[in-house]
Chain A
Amino acid sequence: MRLKYVLSEVMVGLWRNVTMTIAMIITMAVSLTMLGASGLIYVKVAEMKELYFENIEVSIFLETEVTEEQKTAVQAKLDADPLIESVTYVNKEEAHEIFEELFRDSPDLLSAIGPEALPESYRLTLVNPQEYEAIGEQYAEIEGVDQVVDKSAVLDKIFNLFSAGQKIALVAAVAMAAAALLLVANTIQVAAYSKRREVAVMKLVGASNWFIQAPFVLEAVVAGLIGSLLGLGALAGLKVFLFDGALSALQGLFAPVTWGEVLLAFPLMAAVGGLISAITAWVTLHFYLRV
């Protein structure tokens, strides 16, 4: 009976102030969508970083006037280096083949640059790709080495872009959450005001505090949960229309977003939505009803 009473009070409460309820749910949904998106981007960036940095290759380019002694010294050091898994030597002719392959659409450039103009290099795969920076520091200063090149700079730029997007989504989530919080507080106050007589009687006859508060708190929690369900829908929409739709050309570059990951964002959204609502409602009641 008590459960039935509480649940019917919740439904009546949500319906009594339906425009406010809708505003509350929409704000909550947008906030939670942003939160979910931010979480997804965060996971994806971490995943992609691993993927890209796992396969990172370091190239050591030699100076064009490098001497045989210098080359031998570099080669010896590379062979002895425990950080390095394998070394491939690329001589001027091979470099030129790669160059021809890369610039086959620019015959002028190809004819202007012969094999002599290109540097010899070593292509390294590392035991632990994360340590590319250490390689750079070790070899850049050696006699005969022109420069040590890895793709980390470019990758870092891309990932910084993603991280910035993730942070923006997070900031938007927090801002919307603040708005949602105020709406919840307001809705609960209105609800408490419209039930002030009942609450006064309940306090008078000794109804327990949880019994007085439960309908209000649950009202907010239900709104929060509906908001998180809508947020889940919005995330699914983003996946289908944005990621699988408009951005599908970039699919090869990104780690794909799976349905499992979208669904995994839901518990986070539901927990945050429900918890924020419950706490806000409870705190509001504490001040407003003094129970």
Chain B
Amino acid sequence: MWDPIWITVKLAFVTTVILLALGTPVGWWLARSKAWWKEAIAAIVALPIVLPPTVMGFYLLIALGPDSPIGQISTEIFGRALPFTFAGLVVGSVIYSMPFVIQPIRNAFEAIGDRPLEVAATLRASRLDSFFSVALPMARPGLLTGAVLGFAHTVGEFGVILMIGGNIPGETRVLSVAIYDHVEALEWGQAHILSAGLLVFSFVVILSMMMLEKKLGRRLR
């Protein structure tokens, strides 16, 4: 029973870290750029919200499979294609949870506006300096929201995982898939424990996020 939980937490954690590292510059660019095509990028980032997970999983399976260019590269490096590996789950989750991390970060950067950065510039802070000393700390509530949403959303991932990860116990079998298996096998007791656990987890996550946001938001206003 503990294997799926551990894999799920590991997957959500790695995914969140990657998304924060990736989402901060992308969110910054989406908030600040004046390029006319930036909304097209924003739409691509938001696509996983509306795309059925099976569709995404299907394309990922093809894109990462051993016959694809990416698959060939990963075979060169890791000795195998990404589907049915933990690394493959990470790639899928990063794409699947991307909008839930980038959107709050973008909103937080947009909410800062030009003024604090102009003030920083008049106080001798270079652009990079003001990003780290003004923009990032001021966007902290948004970064936190993004991290929590990304983590929680990855924990609840099912369709994409089933499509690309399969169901290898101890390697790619995550919580949601484990619950599905228990139900299929009519092991209601196990399904109950895991489901109730996820329910409580989700509630606690949402509640603490709302409270934190309120607290941080008040501090920054």
Task: State yes or no: do A and B come from one complex.
Answer: no
Residues of A at under 8 Å CB distance from B? none
